[in-house]
Every structure is written in C-alpha cells, then in structure tokens.
Amino acid sequence: MEQPKFAVIGGGSWATAIAKMLCNNMDKISWYMRNETAIEALKNHKHNPNYLSAVEFDTDQLLLTNDINEAILCADYIIFAIPSAFLGKELQKLTVSLENKVIISAIKGIIPETGLIVGQHFMQTYNVNIEQIAVLAGPCHAEEVALERLSYLTIVSGNLDTAAVIARSLQSHYINAKTSDDIMGIEYASMLKNIYAVAAGMAHGLGYGDNFQAVLMSNAIREMKKFIRKVYKMKRNINDSAYLGDLLVTGYSLFSRNRMFGNMIGKGYTVKSAQMEMNMIAEGYYAAKSAYIMNKELKAKTPIIEAVYAILYEGKEPKHVFKKLTEKLD
C-alpha cells in the first residue's frame, strides 16, 4: 500500500516533534522552514539547532526546503505547525493550489487578521472544503514527544477515514492517536485552553496555591463547554482528553509557554517585556482578544476570559482583577 505523502510547515518545537513522529512511519517527508541557516544545520548535524535539539533525524528521510510551495507540491497531507500570528504572512508566499490537499492544523490559536480558527480561515480564504480540513489536538507537549514519553493525540476531521490515515501515520510505541469528528469543538477547545493556561500562570505568579488552581481549572472546563456550545452545538463529552486533558496539561505543565507567559504577567512583567524575554509565541495572548470579541455576540458566561482580557489588553492590575475573579468562581 502506497504511503501517504506528508509535508510539515514550520520550524519550531511542535513542527520538529511532528516531523519526528512522521519519520517513525514514513520513508520520506517534506519539511518547510523559512530559516535557511536552520535547514543547513539540520542537514549537517541531523538535528534542529533551535528547537528540541536532542532529537536526531535521518536526513535521508527529509526533503528540507525554505520554499513553502515546493514542500506542498511534494505532499497530499499538509501539517501547518507555525504560530497563528505568522500564518497569514507565510500563506502570502503560496503560488500552488491547495486543491485535493488535506490541510491539517497543528496550530492552537486564532488568526489575528481574520479572528478565525485555522480551519475556518482556510475554508473562507482559500475555499478549502471542510472535508479536507483536519486538526491535530493533544494533550501532547513537543518536549515529551522528544523524550519519547507516552503521549496522546486526537486527530479530528469530518471525514473519519482521513482522520484514521493521519492517526496511523503519527502513532508509535509512545504515541497513542485516536480520531474524532468534532472538528469545530476541538479546534475551539485547543484555542481556549491557552487562555485558561495564561490565567493559571497569572494565578501562580500572584501567589495563589494549588487549591485555587484546582477551582480555576474546574471552572475553566465548564466555561469552555458553555463557549463551545454557543459556537457549535453537538453531542460531545467535554471530559474527553482532547478537551479536558489538553486543558489540564497546558494549565499545569512546566513546558507550557502559555502558563509561563501568564506567570510572568502575574509577577509584574508587562506584556511586551514578557513576550521579549520568552522569545516564543504564547497563543493565549492573541486568543484572549479574539474570544472576548466573539463572546460579545455569543454571550456565554466567561469570567475567566474576561479577566485575562482585562489584564492583557486593558492594562488592569492582575491582583485586583483576580480578587474579583475569586468571587465569581465556585
């Protein structure tokens, strides 16, 4: 049976982890990075010099390129794993058609220019059919993939046969991959959990303990459920790992850049100084604004999102905002 052909778009830690997972099962993948220096280093030293540098690749399995069109032409399944803030700029380089390509979003955020989740962005901007859209969801941190610690993925698509192909291509002795058809719900959950992880980080930075964190996370999953039901109502179990599990690992893990960002804000960093010191994108920053604006129409009860928005975008004092938030949680 002929192997499916995959391309990975992105040069960060999650893209590197995805490339590692695919290389467990594929003879060859194409991999686009815009950084030509990183490509040369990978070719010469067999690892990504900037992210997950302990992961060693057989470069004979990699078609490395800094031309996004070349990578896409070589594949039928295209996995986008770049920060949502940069996706629009990268897609401006596209000259090849996405017709008959399966677009897989490994981006857990909102496109700032359109305020859309990634799947909707491709459908509305590039006329990609919903049957050609898939989402790669967690709970799964790139750093634990690098260490080959048992991790879980959920592959989401309206076409479960497509989801099954992607799942088989990623699974291994340390990757458990299952499928789901809740493409809207899980993509929104993947975006929202980053906001709640920022909130968890803020709480930690402010000195709140484990007891409050537990209350915050239990309220967050209920808030997520209300928001997603307003967006797209269908039968789903919000306690499944793709929703609750992904929320918990992002909210609690030391690998979580969103929690790290929130922690710095809670400790008194400005947004700009936290972003500069991290030198990584915290998707929850952009997601908080988009979710807050969306909810003006949805009118779901979302005190945690409102608190994060007030701190990040209205310059409110975290200590005072969280004091009020504690009175709204139960």
**Rounded CA separation 56/254 (Å):** 23
Q: Is 323 a catalytic residue?
A: no
Torsions phi, psi for 297 (to 5 deg) = -90, -40
Cis preceding linkage at 139, omega within 30: yes
Catalytic position from the list 20, 101, 108, 193: 193
Answer whether 216's CB lies under 8 Å from 199's CB: yes
Contact criterion met (CB below 8 Å) for 32 and 10 = yes
Q: Are 250 and 146 in contact (CB under 8 A)?
A: no
How far separated are the first and last CA of the chain, in Å rounded? 54
- Is-contact 130 116, C-beta < 8 A? no
Furthest CA-CA distance within the chain: 61
> What are the helix (H) ranges across 207-327?
210-231, 246-252, 257-266, 271-278, 283-298, 303-313, 318-326
Residues with a known catalytic role: 193
